[in-house]
């Protein structure tokens, strides 16, 4: 039977990890985006092969999604978001371990902390991309196109249509609750 430990880091402790991340980012300013992405992908694959912890594996999967987000031409990530993602991946690509990975049970603890910081920093971009990618996968599964033909614009159109449908439903519900006539309102 395993045991569960809860690790809580103070702001000062997190500042240390952020300063390490910042130093690595500065050292990688001269590397090309492609080099950073490929190096990060190799490091994620390496860590995935040694990680036994579900906590670490989940964070590695999310970092893998960051790499996919940058590779996805249809997503059209704005330049600032792209730069932030590349800066985060630069750390992943060049991480100097504070705890050697071969230390049993604790070797990936520092990696997990840094991966969590990367994921938190890019949560809005990552959640948006994952939502778009899930929409695209659903459309492909339903035979409505391929990964190459389903665009970000299709996703935005679908979101807009869903929003308008919710507005209509709310209006109908409100009118019905007041005993009004929806036909009269829609003609105005």
Assess if residue 1 is contained within a domain. no
pLDDT at site 187: 52
| Alpha carbon of residue 128 to chain centroid | 7
Helix or strand run (H / E) with residue 127: helix 123-141
Q: d(Cα 71, Cα 47) in Å, to the nearest integer?
A: 21
User: Does 95 or 42 have the greater pLDDT score?
Assistant: 42
Helix axes 33-50, 79-94, angle to 10 degrees: 50
Residue 127 CB contacts under 8 Å (≥ 6 apart), including other chains: none
> Do 101 and 180 fall into the same domain?
no
Q: Give the model's pLDDT for residue 4.
A: 77
Residues 122 and 176 in one domain: no
Rounded Cα–Cα distance for residues 166 and 6 (Å)? 41
* Residue 85 and residue 177 in one domain: no
Mean pLDDT over 101-122 rounds to 79
d(CA 70, CA 89): 10
Same structural domain, 38 and 126: yes
| pLDDT score at 55 | 81
**Are 105 and 174 in a shared domain?**
no
Q: How many other C-beta atoms lie within 10 A of the C-beta of residue 100?
A: 9
The predicted model scores a pTM of: 0.73
pLDDT tier for residue 171 given thresholds of 50, 70 and 90: confident
* 48 and 137 both lie in a single domain: yes
Q: Which one of 105, 122, 141 terminates a domain?
A: 141
Into how many domains does the chain fold?
Answer: 2
Residue span of the structural domain in which 123 resides: 11-141
Instruction: Judge whether 21 lies within some domain.
Output: yes
pLDDT above 70 for 64: yes
Quick one: pLDDT band at residue 180, thresholds 50, 70, 90? low
Q: In this predicted structure, what is the pLDDT of residue 126?
A: 92
């Amino acid at each position: 039977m395993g045991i569960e430990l809860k690790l809580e880091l103070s702001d000062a402790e997190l500042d240390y990890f952020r300063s390490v991340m910042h130093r690595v980012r500065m050292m990688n300013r001269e590397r090309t985006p492609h080099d950073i992405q490929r190096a990060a992908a190799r490091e994620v694959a390496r860590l995935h092969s040694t990680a036994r912890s579900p906590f670490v594996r989940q964070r590695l999967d999310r970092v893998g999604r960051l790499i996919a987000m940058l590779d996805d031409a249809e997503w059209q990530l704005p330049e600032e978001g792209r730069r932030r993602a590349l800066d985060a991946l630069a750390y992943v690509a060049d991480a100097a371990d504070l705890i050697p990975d071969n230390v049993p049970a604790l070797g990936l603890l520092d990696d997990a902390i840094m991966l969590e910081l990367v994921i938190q920093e890019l949560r809005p971009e990552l959640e948006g991309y994952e939502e778009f990618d899930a929409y695209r996968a659903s459309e492909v599964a339903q035979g409505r196109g391929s990964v190459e033909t389903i665009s970000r614009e299709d996703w935005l159109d679908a979101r807009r249509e869903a929003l308008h449908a919710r507005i209509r439903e709310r209006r109908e519900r409100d009118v019905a609750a007041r005993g009004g006539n929806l036909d009269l309102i829609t003609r105005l």
